[in-house]
Every structure is written in C-alpha cells, then in structure tokens.
Amino acid sequence: MENMFVNPPGECDSKSATDSERTLYPYVTGTSVVAVKYKDGILMAADTGGSYGSTLRYKSVERMKAIGKHSVLGASGEISDFQEILRYLDELILYDNMWDDGNSLGPKEVHNYLNRVMYNRRNKFNPLWNSLVLGGVKNGQKYLGMVSMIGVHFEDNHVATGFGNHLARPILRDEWHEDMSFEEAVKLLEKCMLVLLYRDRSAINKIQIAQVTEAGFNTFQPYALKTFWGFSAFENPSKGAVGTW
C-alpha cells in the first residue's frame, strides 16, 4: 500500500490549494529607491509610480514613509506588501510609544526588526516581495541600511534598490563624499534619478525626496526632472529603415 503522505511522482507539495496563500509573483510594483547619508542626516529619493506589469497604472504612490520619530522607510517591489510592512511597523512603534519611558526604537533597531521579518517570511517560502531602504538619525548618529526580500541586509553610506543598484550606485561610488550639504546631496540624487528615468522602463517623471534629520522626518512635494530628447538620431526615426511600419 502506498504511503499516503508521499506525493505521486511528478507532483510536489507546493502545487496544492495552499498555493493561493503564498506570494508567488508581485503584481503592483514600485521601482528603484535611492538614498544617501549627508551632513544633517539621510536623503532618500523615489518616484511615485506603481506599475501593474508593464502598465504604468498608478502615478501617485508614496513609497517612502516615516517610521517613529527617527526613521524613514522606502520600498520597491510589491506595494501591498509594503503596506503590510507599514502595518507591522505601526504596531511596533505603537507598543514602543506605550512604554512612555524615554526610550525609543532607533533606525538600527527598526532595520534589524525588518530583517527578522523578511528572513522569516523567506524561510516559509512566502516572502514579502520588497527591497527596503531604512534610514534615520538618532542621537546624532546617522544610519542607512537595506533589506532584500530574502533577508540579505547591510548598512552603507549610500544604498539603492532594483535598477538603482546598477545605474545609481556607480555614480554614488564616484561622487558621494562625507558631510555633503543638503543642496549637494539633492543634486546627486537627482542625477541618479535622471539616469533611472532615461533607462528604467518602469520609472516615471514624478519624483519625491524624503529627508530625515535629528529634528525629524520631512517629505517634499513630488516634481518632475528636466529631460532632453533633442538628439539628432531621434529626428527622423525611419531614416535607416525604409518601409517601416
């Protein structure tokens, strides 16, 4: 008699009714987030787009949110999972505030908590499909870290997610330096976001910048970057291909 707990050949356990209860693919996604440490704290940039596959469906998605008094969380990947993470962090900060004892969770603690959550979900084969950027300032100490959907985490002076890793970080490696002024840092972020706008097909020209300093969190109104398309090669697109449709 066959062991009823062993699957018939060719079939594995994940192909069961419980598949609908695990994250398999992302649906509504945000693209890159780029962040740098600067003189007074952290600056983070992300566009406000939410793609539904290749359709740019939502154009005013806020992908950076304040966490507690000291931190900001930016996310790329599945937007609904980002919202779930915000719910977890909401509860975490709430309980932290309820102690009312002068202690508070700083960016380092929140980063590590997120790492624990992401890694545990990965172990259950039900990930939160996000790459997270966590930055903050507490007691004069600046902190900037990243957590991926499989629980890989690290801290650095500048971080980026998704395409930002390939397009923005080389720029940051060359041009970032300690104690940049606010204007310098914004210019650097805009430079990165411009490259991403040109080259990342899921990027939109509506970017938002978030700032955390010792004083707290601040976000600026979304705005568009100036782009240039006046290249001679674009003037007569069918020049090299007669009869093109």
Partner 1 sequence: MLRNQYDTDVMTWSPMGRLFQVEYAMDAVKQGGAAFGLRSRSHVVLASVDRAVSGLSFHQRKIFKIDDRTGVAMAGLAADGRVVLQYLASECINYSFVYESPIPVSRLVARLADKAQACTMLSLKRPYGVGCLVAGTDESGVHLYYNCPSGDYFECQAFAIGSHSQAAKVCLEREFETFNDRPREELIQRALLAITETLRWQGKEFDSSSCTVAILGENEAFHVISRSVIEQLVDSSKAT
Q: Which residues are catalytic?
A: 23
Instruction: Compute the least distance from the CB of residue 152 to partner 1, in Å.
Output: 15
> Site for partner 1 (CB under 8 A): which residue of 108, 122, 166, 191?
108
> Which is nearer to partner 1, 38 or 143 (by Cβ)?
143
> Which is nearer to partner 1, 113 or 182 (by Cβ)?
113
Instruction: Compute the least distance from the CB of residue 111 to partner 1, in Å.
Output: 8
Quick check: 103 binds partner 1 (CB under 8 A)? yes
Quick check: 122 binds partner 1 (CB under 8 A)? no
Check: CB of residue 119 under 8 Å from CB of residue 150.
yes
CA-based R_g, the chain, Å? 21
- Tokens for 109? 């603690």
H or E element at residue 159: strand 158-160
User: Rounded to an integer, what distance in angstroms lies between the CA atom of residue 135 and that of residue 143?
Assistant: 5
Quick check: 244 binds partner 1 (CB under 8 A)? no
> Site for partner 1 (CB under 8 A): which residue of 22, 57, 116, 177?
116
User: Rounded to an integer, what distance in angstroms lies between the CA atom of residue 189 and that of residue 184?
Assistant: 9
Quick check: 205 binds partner 1 (CB under 8 A)? no
H or E element at residue 45: strand 41-47
Quick check: 109 binds partner 1 (CB under 8 A)? yes
> Site for partner 1 (CB under 8 A): which residue of 3, 20, 54, 139?
139
Tokens 């996604």 — which residue?
Answer: 29
Kindly state the number of chain residues that form the binding site for partner 1, as judged by CB under 8 A: 13
Quick check: 27 binds partner 1 (CB under 8 A)? no
> Site for partner 1 (CB under 8 A): which residue of 105, 189, 193, 197?
105
Instruction: Compute the least distance from the CB of residue 91 to partner 1, in Å.
Output: 14
User: Rounded to an integer, what distance in angstroms lies between the CA atom of residue 54 and that of residue 51?
Assistant: 6
Of 31, 34, 32, the C-alpha closest to 156 is 34
Instruction: Compute the least distance from the CB of residue 72 to partner 1, in Å.
Output: 18
CA angle 242, 243, 245 (to 5 degrees): 125
Quick check: 112 binds partner 1 (CB under 8 A)? yes
> Which is nearer to partner 1, 145 or 162 (by Cβ)?
145
> Site for partner 1 (CB under 8 A): which residue of 106, 127, 162, 164?
106
H or E element at residue 131: strand 130-138
**Is 219 strand, coil or helix?**
strand
Contacts to partner 1 from residues 83-102, by CB under 8 A: 99, 101-102
**Is 65 strand, coil or helix?**
strand
Strand partners, 158: 36
Check: CB of residue 63 under 8 Å from CB of residue 49.
no
Q: Which residues bind partner 1 (CB under 8 A)?
A: 99, 101-103, 105-106, 108-109, 111-113, 116, 139
